[in-house]
Amino acid sequence: MNKIYDLVIIGGGPAGLSAGIYAGRAKLKTLIIEKEHTGGQINSTAEIVNYPGIIKSTGPNLTAAMRTQAENFGVKFQTADVIDVDFTVDVKVIKTNKGEIQSRAVIIATGASPRKLGFPGEIEYGGRGVAYCATCDGEFFKDLEVLVIGAGFAAAEEAMFLTRFAKKVIIIAREPDFTCAKSIGDKVKANKKIEIRFNTEVVEAVGDDLLRSVKLINNVTKETSEYFPPKEDGTFGIFVFVGYEPQTKIFKGKVEMDQYGYIITNENMQTNIKGVYAAGDLRPKLLRQVVTAVADGAIAATDAERYITAEKERLGIVEEEAEENLVESKKEEVNIDNKALAGKSNLLNDALRNQLKAILSKIENNISLVSIVDESNKKSIELRDLVLDISDLSDKVSAIIYKKGENPEMEAKINADKYPVAALLDKDNNYSGVKFHGVPGGHELNSFIIAIYNLAGPGQAIDEKLLNEIRSIDKKINIKVGVSLSCHVCPDVVMAAQRIAIENPNIETEMLDLSNFKDIKDKHRIMSVPALIINDEKVYFGGKKLEEIVQLLK
């Protein structure tokens, strides 16, 4: 008999997480389905200062705390792509790439993604100058000029953030003034590193392998102009912040939407289908902020709880409280001081070590982490310390440390041609094809731990057909994944590419923190991450799923 959840929440952003917290606290059997990673668009926000009670935080930190809250109330999480739904039956059916899921009620919280403007050159120069995430890609424009397209809150906020890297920020806005709060607009206008051109639109981005100029038009006077970067710079960046489009295509025809694809609800977040709710940025609303998203999620979950209770009473269903939905009231107290313990990596604190220890306790086979240390390289020493720290968390993870030049045989075995470097060896002491050229802090710590989990087993579930496709690749392939440690999309690409290497000995995958490898960044003209480099020739930008990468390798 298939399990029937009380509530399935599609989307793990602030709205979905808030709904999960309220549903879990109401002791509903709740599952949150995430497409890629928890957090959604807020993960690209470097600074949050307007969320009540939070003086200052980052998007990833805030949503990580929300996820922990939801898990503490027994909410389950699953990573999967929702490919279809059936809301015509009492027990709703959610069809994913990993199978079907049944639920008495559903909350749609898939959010919205950055809208493309559509000017000539926008697609062609994606990854080579045109970007949509200042947090992810801002560092690639250090000491260059950047254009920010937009007049709203996001454009104003990200323009100020980009002044940390760019020597000058030029805002291009078709409106006669900012459309965000006046206080924010005034702050931007007062910034000496920001120039503003209102009533101006982009006509075309021009260049060769990089951006070289952009053609503009004044929409009042119809006067045309062309922006060129300073001659000594050679190139520049264009960051587009012109709003978002709802991620609701798979729900078209399933629930009522407006002409723009936003899902229509009442004040209780109910759609036109009983038991189906929508929350967050995919609803028509005047203000799209974290605070409004979490409010939507809370309202939706509260109303869903009433609906689910009534449905169970109508059907005469009496259920005991699910054991898996209970959380022990007594928990081991841990020191959550962010300072590292003596002799340990500065990237880990006590609480995080305890979390990692719980994950690593599940692995099945012995593996080794190899670190070749270039003592003249600060990052190499940091990576060594992290390897030693993580190896202390499991008796199935060993650390093998050598100074550069001390063991040429091992260096050759793992192809240690760049520093810092850490590689994974399998249970038979064979090189797994997984290598890190960077200290996997921030988002990338996930990919480091998942690499261990996938190599040592049991590993993440993978479709049998896709697994056979991976194993059928019969040519030597090197994959480099260029990342920045602030990129929230990068770990998913790293994990997918590394999984391919783990399953096929013909393939090697290297994670590269591009801040350490300017030569590689410049050689491939990389101005955005993630950047997938195949055999040092072809470069592909943006998020990629496992199956997409497999197709690129064929």
d(CA 443, CA 155): 24
| Least confident residue range of 435-444, 448-457, 493-502 | 435-444
| Least confident residue range of 406-410, 429-433, 544-548 | 544-548
Six-digit token string for 213? 């100029």
- The region that residue 324 occupies, defined by phi over 0 for left and psi between -120 and 50 for alpha, beta otherwise, is alpha
| Least confident residue range of 99-113, 174-188, 394-408, 442-456 | 442-456
Q: If you average pLDDT over every residue of the chain, what do you get?
A: 91
| Least confident residue range of 38-52, 176-190, 255-269, 287-301 | 38-52
pLDDT, tens digit (0-9, with 9 covering 90-100), for 298-311: 999 999 999 999 99
Write down the residue that tokens 């798979």 correspond to.
250
User: Catalytic residue at 180?
Assistant: no
**Domain range annotation of the chain:** 4-112+247-325, 130-242, 350-553
For 57, phi then psi, to 5°, come to -155, -175
In this structure, the number of other CB atoms found within 10 A of the CB of residue 240 comes to 25
**SS3 letters across 86-152:** ECCCCCEEEEECCEEEEEEEEEECCCEEECCCCCCCCCCCECCCEECCHHHHHHHHCCCEEEEECCC
3-state class (DSSP) for residue 299:
helix
Pairing of the two strands 224-227 and 76-79: unpaired
pLDDT band at residue 36 under the 50/70/90 scheme: confident
For 551, phi then psi, to 5°, come to -65, -35
Q: What was the pLDDT predicted at 427?
A: 96
Q: What was the pLDDT predicted at 331?
A: 36
Residue 329 has pLDDT above 60, yes or no: no
Residue 132 has pLDDT above 60, yes or no: yes
pLDDT, tens digit (0-9, with 9 covering 90-100), for 390-423: 999 999 999 999 999 999 999 999 999 999 999 9
User: Catalytic residue at 137?
Assistant: yes
The model carries a pTM of 0.75
Same fold, 4-112+247-325 and 130-242: yes
pLDDT band at residue 46 under the 50/70/90 scheme: low
pLDDT, tens digit (0-9, with 9 covering 90-100), for 195-220: 999 999 999 999 998 999 999 999 99
Q: What was the pLDDT predicted at 187?
A: 96
Among candidate residues 6, 90, 133, 519, the one labeled active-site is 133
pLDDT band at residue 326 under the 50/70/90 scheme: very low
Non-local CB neighbours of 434 within 8 Å, separated by 6+ positions: 423, 424, 451, 455, 498, 501, 502, 508, 509
User: Catalytic residue at 177?
Assistant: no
Q: What is the mean pLDDT of residues 342-346?
A: 64
d(CA 155, CA 179): 10
Residue 343 has pLDDT above 60, yes or no: no
In this structure, the number of other CB atoms found within 10 A of the CB of residue 364 comes to 12
Torsion of Cα atoms, 81 then 84 then 86 then 87, to 10°: 70
For residue 530, cis peptide bond before it (omega within 30 degrees of 0): yes
Q: What is the mean pLDDT of residues 126-139?
A: 90
pLDDT band at residue 37 under the 50/70/90 scheme: confident
Q: What was the pLDDT predicted at 23?
A: 97
Residue 47 has pLDDT above 80, yes or no: no
Fold of 350-553: Glutaredoxin (3.40.30)
User: CATH code for 130-242?
Assistant: 3.50.50.60
DSSP symbols for 390-454:
HHTT-TTEEEEEEETTT-HHHHHHTT--SSSEEEEE-TTS-EEEEEEES---TTHHHHHHHHHHH
Among candidate residues 136, 303, 490, 513, the one labeled active-site is 136
Q: Give, to the nearest 10 degrees, the angle between helix 350-360 and helix 378-391.
A: 60
Pick from 154, 112, 117: which is nearest to 133 by CA?
154
pLDDT band at residue 317 under the 50/70/90 scheme: confident
Q: For residue 262, give the H/E element and its range.
A: none
Among candidate residues 81, 84, 86, 137, the one labeled active-site is 137
Pick from 408, 444, 421: which is nearest to 371 by CA?
421
Instruction: Pick the more confident residue, 289 or 298.
Output: 298
Q: What is the mean pLDDT of residues 445-457?
A: 94
In single-letter form, the type of residue at position 403 comes to K
d(CA 427, CA 199): 63
d(CA 66, CA 13): 9
Residue 1 has pLDDT above 70, yes or no: no
Q: What is the mean pLDDT of residues 329-337?
A: 33
User: CATH code for 4-112+247-325?
Assistant: 3.50.50.60
Q: What was the pLDDT predicted at 262?
A: 95
Q: What was the pLDDT predicted at 320?
A: 52
